[in-house]
Amino acid sequence: MASFEDADSVSPELGLWLKESAHRQGFGREVVAALVEWGHATLGKGSFIYPVAVQNTASRRIAENLHGEIIRQTHGS
């Protein structure tokens, strides 16, 4: 499942949830890259927010591979 939220904002938020059997096959990067491409081409967006947990190295790699940068860190309760 993927999400593209707050499409009217300057930087829409992207989300991705894959079942465990789909992990480590490149689907996550493919889906996030497609969302970014669609948002750029269709809505003219130049930046996106893709929240990831620091300990989720796979999600961090997706963001880093797509030239993402850390803009803020939060600490859960």
Q: How far is CA 75 from CA 25, 61, 71, in A?
A: 29, 20, 14
Q: Is residue 77 part of a domain?
A: no
In total, how many domains does the chain have? Answer: 1
Q: Is residue 23 part of a domain?
A: yes
Residue 5: alpha-carbon gap to chain centroid: 11
The pTM of this model reads 0.82
Assess whether pLDDT exceeds 60 at residue 77.
Answer: no
Q: Is residue 70 part of a domain?
A: no
pLDDT tens digits along 13-42 = 999 898 988 888 888 899 999 999 999 999
pLDDT tens digits along 44-64 = 999 999 888 878 888 888 888
Where in the sequence is the domain holding 16, given as residue range(s)? 2-65
Assess whether pLDDT exceeds 60 at residue 74.
Answer: yes
Q: Is residue 31 part of a domain?
A: yes
Q: Is residue 72 part of a domain?
A: no
Q: Is residue 50 part of a domain?
A: yes
Q: Is residue 49 part of a domain?
A: yes
Q: Is residue 59 part of a domain?
A: yes
